Structure 1
């Protein structure tokens, strides 16, 4: 996946030029590769609406090449300016009218069925804003999974903050979820306090306990955690956090910061390619040691891999 609509992309010396054989990559207007890129076509299900007139792409969208993704609750108790995660745009999408506030299980099932039949999606990602400090969205995610299971058996990943009640992992599993994402965002506690002023109150120790509980339910390689690079984190703390998570059976999904318009970090600079190369190589070594891989993830971000190059470094010596 290539970011094309954020600020850093506008200043990039790289561009894509369409030709008869596909898109070619250019640097300062000069073609640098004979490899042609094929653009993902607009999904057919985007042209459909629900019975009550809601466009399907306001309920769920295509991620990568074959993943259907939806934020089932498009609001968050941490959205107040003094609380919000500085990279997050969950409220902006709603304010701009690009989505709806709450997606019902029935709506999701309808869209999943169409996307599977018309566009051949292979797996599903359901995430949520945090609606409360107890189940943190897990119960509503379970209802959504149950709704989808009436029409589809595609693998589903759910994503939420660690619920207070550990039994929620089994509730999600019993509903039909195949994997779960518990996103720590950073393994550097100082960065978490600065960039995630409210979410950071859920400590790293709490996340590691949650990882253990989730792996006991979903299994090794079926729990993942987002680790955003470029927030000012200490590299060694990051690698050690990834290693500790991997030893539990959690896939540390490291991605570069992609500053989004309208967020508090919209003018931030993404990490350099050199920095990310080192991160990818070192985290991939950890993955190989613990026998974790994107390919063995059943669904979700780690399986998709569109936001990262980490999977390209797996199994390399």
Structure 2
């Protein structure tokens, strides 16, 4: 169905020319939305989101950028170039290099399961896995429209359940062969009171026993019993993501009908408990820009989250193959001017509060690749 059938205003793309100014935030936003012509050995497709991106080093920082053969941006000689048409490509002053394919991808377990099917490299030094690749909310009338968690399973590129022993084996190899320093573990939502946290805790414990120095972020929905949050910390996780994506209930009902049955009050209770257990700025949540929300609301939501001690990781919605938003609704990326303004505003709030992604011990905000907040100073 078309995007307008979501019951929200259509989210239009912005076809105007790339920014001429050398402002690093404006440039980073533009490339995040327009993509890049580059061969990216490390990339992700389908899965739980947030994007269908290649992983590069952007002036030395991790960045996840859509690989787009039609982008005006390309990389040559390790430099970002802007194709101006008749005038040819110009150097815009950014070093860009693809993240190399990790060596642990060449290995397999004793039963023949490829390490790459168990966990993936994200950015330069982040190991990421979805420990259970199925979700109770994946039926079409319930699933989050930006998520393709089961598409990679259907494609045969991963396995349904990763065991603690498997993850410990892969984590050890990723550290030894490729210098991985942190790990992200997420999961599809289960029917249980823990919503998947019990298996996550078993996996965390096994990885920490094998690689004690590997910092781990876990990601779950708010569990029905908040003691699951303490259990994850006791297992060895250093940070946690409890992702709401939007704090507009109309947007939540339209984009994530199943997940929206978990109320914002339940999220607030889970965030408060997570901050109590993990500490201020070790808890984060995604805020997606481009779902039809009022852009002025996003900094207001961020202000509330920051006051709780939660890092609001602002990320643009970007089309992802295998999702309803892309394959059915055909929703484009948000307007460049909106993403830039919102990112600058939220970054300023974070800096003023002394909450930086670089101070998180592990996870999406610590990596920062999928958003532009790090470029904006947060």
1:158 counterpart residue number = 218
Matched, 1:26 2:86: no
**Residue 105 of structure 1 contacts residue 143 of structure 1 at CA under 8 Å; is this kept in 2?**
yes
Kindly state the Cα deviation for residue 24 of structure 1 after the two structures are TM-superposed: 3.7
Q: CA deviation at 1:277?
A: 0.9
Aligned equivalent of 2:310, options 239, 244, 250: 250
Is the counterpart of residue 51 in structure 1 residue 107 in structure 2? no
Matched residue SS, 2:156: coil
TM-score, with length taken from structure 1: 0.94
- Is 1:299 matched with 2:357? no
1:201-260, CA deviations, whole angstroms, 9 ceiling, x for partnerless residues?
Answer: 111121111110100000000000011111101123222111111101000000001111
* Secondary structure class of the residue paired with 1:311: coil
Distance across 2 between alignment mates of 1:260 and 1:96: 15
1:175-254 aligned at under 5 Å gives the runs 175-254=235-314
Q: Are the counterparts in 2 of residues 23 and 39 from structure 1 also a CA contact under 8 Å?
A: no
Farther off after superposition, 70-79 or 270-279? 270-279
Query: 1:180–1:218: 8 Å Cα contact kept in structure 2?
Result: yes
Structure 1 residues 267-306: Cα deviation after superposition (integer angstroms, max 9, x where no partner): 2110122111101111112212322110110000000011
Alignment-derived partner of residue 85 in structure 1: 144
- Seen in structure 2, the aligned counterparts of structure 1 residues 11 and 114 have a Cα distance that, compared at 3 Å, is closer
The number of residues matched between the two structures is 313
Alignment partner of 2:325: what SS?
coil
Q: Secondary structure at the match of 1:25?
A: strand
**Higher deviation after alignment, 230-239 or 118-127:** 230-239
Distance 2:90 2:226 in 1: 51
CA gap 1:15/1:289 in 2 versus in 1, 3 angstroms: closer
2:203: which partner in 1? 144
Distance 1:11 1:45, change over 3 A: closer
Unaligned runs of 5+ residues in structure 1 are none
Structure 1 residue aligned with 2:346: 283
Match of residue 66 from structure 1: 125
Deviates more, 1:2-11 or 1:103-112: 2-11
5+ residue gaps, structure 2:
1-30, 37-44, 46-51, 54-65
Q: In the alignment, what sits opposite 1:99?
A: 158
Contact 1:25 1:36 in 2 (8 A): no
1:32 Cα deviation after fit: 2.8
Specify whether residues 186 and 53 from structure 1 end up closer, same or farther in structure 2 by C-alpha distance, changes over 3 A only. Answer: same
Work out the CA distance in 1 between the residues paired with 2:177 and 2:295. Answer: 43
Q: Tell me if the contact between 1:145 and 1:177 (Cα under 8 Å) persists in the aligned partners.
A: yes
Q: Is the 8 A contact 1:123 1:155 kept in 2?
A: yes
8 Å contact 1:155–1:178 — kept in the other structure?
A: yes
Greater shift in the superposed pair: 268-277 or 101-110: 268-277
Please identify, of 276-285 and 218-227, the stretch whose mean Cα deviation from structure 2 is larger: 276-285
Structure with more relative contact order (C-alpha pairs < 8 Å, separation 6 or more) = 2
Equivalent pair of 1:162/1:182 in contact (CA under 8 Å) = yes
Contact preservation (8 Å) 2:230, 2:277 = yes
Report the counterpart of residue 271 of structure 1 in structure 2. 334
Separation in 2 of the partners of 1:92 and 1:25?
34
Give the secondary structure class of the aligned counterpart of 1:235. Answer: coil
1:119 aligns with 2:178: yes
